[in-house]
Amino acid sequence: MDEMEHKDLNKAAELTAKAQKIVVFTGAGVSTESGIPDFRSPGGIWSRYDPELFTYQYFMSSSQARKKVWAMLRETFLQFHAEPNAAHKAIADLFAHGCLYGVITQNIDGLHQESGIPDDFIFELHGNMRRVKCMNCDQLYETERIKNKLFKEEIPKCDHCGGILKPGVVFFGEVLPINVLEEACYRARNCDLFIVVGSSLRVYPAANIPKYALEAGTPIIVINMTPTYLDAEADVVLRGKAGEIMSRIVKLALEKKLS
Ligand code: APR
């Protein structure tokens, strides 16, 4: 790490040490070190699958479409047995020290929950893969409990009414869960530090949320391997791996807090 990066890391640790109501906003880049590919990096999911497959209209359009979507989910999100990595654990450390006001995540992998942060501190803007829902009778199923059904049936159907089963994720063209979105925006407006980790900030309305913190005059830290639209307005931009950077910032910050 060069001199400049060292200075930025220290500035980020200072801001984190002072903050009591930190919001961390995460994207797929926070889970790549757990073995889950992100979407837009080279080799990411959208380099292997057509994003058009992931529109609500397409999924609902035909059984052929649903066959394709479920096949893609079997090869990706239903495959991963990922564990939280150093970045997730660093964010969980902030929670353990009482200075985390919330995690706003675009991720559907549930790794923030697995790192020990309770559900009521996590705002999943794009839903999650933990549950599957019948589009006809609203019956909810735990994905883990019906995994062999999801792998056996080309187009999984509801056991109760035979209706279409849809994964608990938000497809393109689908409305985000309004109560989650509203609370996420509220926390972005009312936090005292906003940290973006591992997101290209290219998908809306999620990518708008950091702007609420910006408009409130809240310090912003961006940790990402590649540039984002927010870099120019952020107080600190750290280019590099989320796991290493987040753990160094939180370690330094907690030492300052406790000193
Ligand atoms: N450390 C830091 N940054 C990383 C790492 C890492 N280990 N790995 C990847 N990144 C960065 C990439 O450079 C990229 O800018 O994380 C970002 C991930 O961006 P995307 O793949 O676009 O993922 P995300 O921002 O979460 O996408 C948002 O788009 O396709 C939809 O619904 C999907 O929730 C997703 C949304």
Whether 26 is in the pocket of ligand 1, judged by its Cβ within 6 Å, is no
Look at residues 168, 216, 223, 228 and name the one whose alpha carbon lies nearest to residue 30.
223
The residues spanned by each domain of the chain are 3-36+84-126+175-258, 45-79+130-169
DSSP string, 137-161: T--EEEGGGGHHHHHHSSS-B-TTT
Percent of the chain with pLDDT over 90: 84
Among the atoms of ligand 1, which is closest to the Cα of residue 242?
Answer: 1
Average pLDDT over residues 132-150: 92
Look at residues 128, 153, 163 and name the one whose alpha carbon lies nearest to residue 143.
128
Q: Does 126 participate in catalysis according to the annotation?
A: yes
Give the whole-angstrom CA distance, residue 153 versus residue 165.
11
Please report the pLDDT score of residue 1 as a whole number. Answer: 60
Whether 53 is in the pocket of ligand 1, judged by its Cβ within 6 Å, is no
Pairing of strands 236-238, 220-223: parallel
The string of pLDDT tens digits covering residues 65-82 is 899 999 988 888 888 789
- Find out if CATH 1.20.58.390 is the number for domain 3-36+84-126+175-258: no
pTM of the model as a whole = 0.96
Q: Whose CA is nearest to atom 35 of ligand 1?
A: 106
Give the whole-angstrom CA distance, residue 241 versus residue 156.
38
The string of pLDDT tens digits covering residues 157-197 is 999 999 999 999 999 999 999 999 999 999 999 999 999 99
Please report the pLDDT score of residue 133 as a whole number. Answer: 93
Whether 66 is in the pocket of ligand 1, judged by its Cβ within 6 Å, is no
Whether 32 is in the pocket of ligand 1, judged by its Cβ within 6 Å, is yes
45-79+130-169: which CATH number, 3.40.50.2300, 3.30.1600.10, 3.40.50.150, 2.40.10.120?
A: 3.30.1600.10
User: 3-state SS of the chain: helix, strand, coil percent to 5?
Assistant: 45, 20, 35
How many angstroms separate the alpha carbon of residue 126 from the centre of ligand 1? 13
212 vs 49, more confident = 212
Please report the pLDDT score of residue 4 as a whole number. Answer: 64
